[in-house]
């Protein structure tokens, strides 16, 4: 086994334990160079004039206060669906604009209604109501209660077995079913805690898996493009933490190259390809990367925007990242 639980326990950033303040937790992630890219965008957006001038944080939190969770969910879903429909109409307008003719004002309508979507998400969850408007897709501080020893040891032991099976040192075992989502979550937790080298090792092993390995659940095998992109995001983020800029750029570019297969995928997957193209431009602001970002911005429009929470939220945040990165404006 390349890494042990003891190694991780000694290296993980202990500052995150007991931290309830999400802003403080994300600041520690930033200092660790382990801030998730979407959390970075969220922090930037909340600091923008779009959010400051258009947010409905206080209003929605007051409106939802004292309601049962199912009532809050129902109210929030009405907000999500209304904004989804507005985004669908905005997408139709955006699709008629050539990339070279795109202007900041073409994106601003999306960004003016995004705050309400974020605020409805936090208002419907009582826990968030006490903590402010920052929403993190998988939690802002997953190390609040320290490392989950059982989960980390499960992942390390499973990855060790997987590596040995791939190398031919063990037979492909039917009694090993890899909990894909637990493995990915552990990788992100370790990056957030400053131990990206372990996440990088895990991701490298995962990259060698193919459909002949029976320990991969069938439902995961069917999502091969999305799974590969998830692994590449972990690799890129780990390399950024480890200050391996060239390796990070190579992995981000590999995500971008998935645009050729997006015709068979979804709006959500295309969102993440666009997100990667913007990050690549941030890492290397060349004219070639700038043109690539502009060409890919409308990639998701090949698909129906049918899901009104995660997909809409990510689209808005990614458009903001394009806005602030390409137009150099936080407006």
Residue in 50, 22, 29, 34 with CA at minimum distance from that of residue 316: 50
Residue 145 pLDDT exceeds 60: yes
Residue 130 pLDDT exceeds 60: no
pLDDT at position 315 is 97
**Could you read off the pLDDT of 168-191 as tens digits, one per residue?**
888 766 667 788 889 999 999 999
The span from the CA of 37 to the CA of 30, in Å, is 10
pLDDT at position 228 is 87
Average pLDDT over residues 9-36: 94
Average pLDDT over residues 229-246: 96
Radius of gyration of the CA atoms of the chain, in A: 20
| Segment among 42-46, 110-114, 246-250 with least mean pLDDT | 42-46
Contact predicate 178/217, CB 8 Å:
yes
User: 228: which 2 tokens?
Assistant: 């590969």
**What's the whole-number average pLDDT of the chain?**
90
CA dihedral 216, 160, 257, 29 (to 10 degrees): 110
Residue 55 pLDDT exceeds 80: yes
pLDDT at position 214 is 62
pLDDT at position 142 is 94
User: Which of the pair, 227 or 194, is modelled with greater confidence?
Assistant: 194
Average pLDDT over residues 132-157: 90
CB atoms within 10 A of CB 303: 18
**Could you read off the pLDDT of 253-308 as tens digits, one per residue?**
999 998 766 655 689 889 999 999 999 999 999 999 999 999 999 999 989 999 99
User: 273: which 2 tokens?
Assistant: 């390809």
Question: Domain boundaries in the chain?
Answer: 149-305
196 Cα distance to chain centroid: 16
**Could you read off the pLDDT of 65-98 as tens digits, one per residue?**
889 999 999 999 999 999 999 999 999 999 999 9
pLDDT at position 128 is 55
Q: Name the pLDDT band for 193 (thresholds 50, 70, 90).
A: very high
Cα–Cα–Cα angle for 323, 312, 103, rounded to 5 degrees: 25
- pTM for the model stands at 0.92
Q: Name the pLDDT band for 198 (thresholds 50, 70, 90).
A: very high
Average pLDDT over residues 322-327: 96
Question: In the CATH hierarchy, which fold is given to the domain comprising 149-305?
Answer: 1.25.40
pLDDT at position 171 is 75
SS (H, E, C) the chain: CCCCHHHHHHHCCHHHCCCCCHHHHHHHHHHCCCCCHHHHHHHHHHCCHHHHHHCCHHHHHHHHCCCCHHHHHHHHHHHHHHHHHHHHHHHHHHHCCCHHHCCHHHHHHHHHHHHHHHHHHHHCCHHHHCCCCCCCCCCCCCCCCCCCHHHHHHHHHHHHHHHHHHCCCCCCCCCCCCCHHHHHHHHHHHHHCCCHHHHHHHHHHHHCCCCCCCCCCHHHHCCHHHHHHHHHHHHHHHHHHCCCHHHHHHHHHHHHHHHHHHHHCCHHHHHHHHHHHHHHHHHCCCHHHHHHHHHHCCHHHHCCCCCCCHHHHHHHHHHHHHHHHHCCCCC
pLDDT at position 322 is 98
User: Which of the pair, 75 or 217, is modelled with greater confidence?
Assistant: 75
Residue in 64, 37, 39, 51 with CA at minimum distance from that of residue 121: 64
């Amino acid at each position: 086994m390349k890494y042990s639980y003891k190694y991780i326990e000694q290296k993980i950033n202990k500052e995150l334990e007991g931290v309830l303040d999400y802003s403080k937790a994300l600041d520690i992630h930033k200092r660790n160079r382990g801030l998730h890219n979407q959390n970075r965008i969220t922090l930037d957006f909340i600091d923008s004039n779009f959010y400051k001038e258009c947010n409905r944080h206080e209003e929605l939190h007051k409106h939802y206060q004292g309601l049962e969770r199912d009532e809050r969910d129902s109210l929030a879903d009405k907000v999500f669906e209304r904004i989804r429909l507005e985004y669908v109409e905005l997408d139709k307008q955006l699709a008629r604009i050539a990339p070279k003719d795109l202007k900041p004002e073409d994106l601003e309508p999306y960004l003016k209604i995004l705050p309400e979507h974020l605020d409805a998400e936090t208002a419907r969850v009582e826990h968030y109501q006490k903590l402010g408007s920052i929403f993190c897709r998988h939690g802002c501080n997953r190390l609040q209660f320290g490392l989950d020893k059982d989960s980390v040891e499960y992942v390390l032991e499973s990855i060790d077995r997987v590596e040995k099976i791939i190398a031919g040192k063990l037979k492909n075992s039917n009694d090993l079913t890899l909990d894909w989502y637990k493995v990915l979550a552990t990788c992100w937790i370790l990056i957030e805690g400053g131990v990206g080298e372990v996440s990088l090792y895990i991701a490298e092993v995962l990259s060698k898996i193919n459909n002949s390995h029976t320990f991969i659940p069938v439902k995961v095998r069917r999502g091969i493009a999305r799974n590969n992109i998830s692994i590449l995001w972990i690799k890129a983020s780990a390399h950024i933490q480890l200050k391996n800029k060239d390796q990070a750029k190579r992995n981000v570019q590999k995500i971008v190259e998935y645009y050729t297969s997006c015709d068979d995928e979804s709006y959500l997957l295309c969102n993440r390809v666009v997100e990667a193209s913007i990050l690549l431009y941030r890492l290397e602001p060349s004219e070639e990367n700038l043109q690539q970002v502009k060409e890919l911005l409308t990639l998701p429009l090949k698909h129906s925007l049918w899901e009104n929470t995660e997909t809409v939220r990510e689209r808005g945040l990614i458009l903001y990242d394009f806005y602030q990165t390409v137009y150099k404006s936080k407006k």
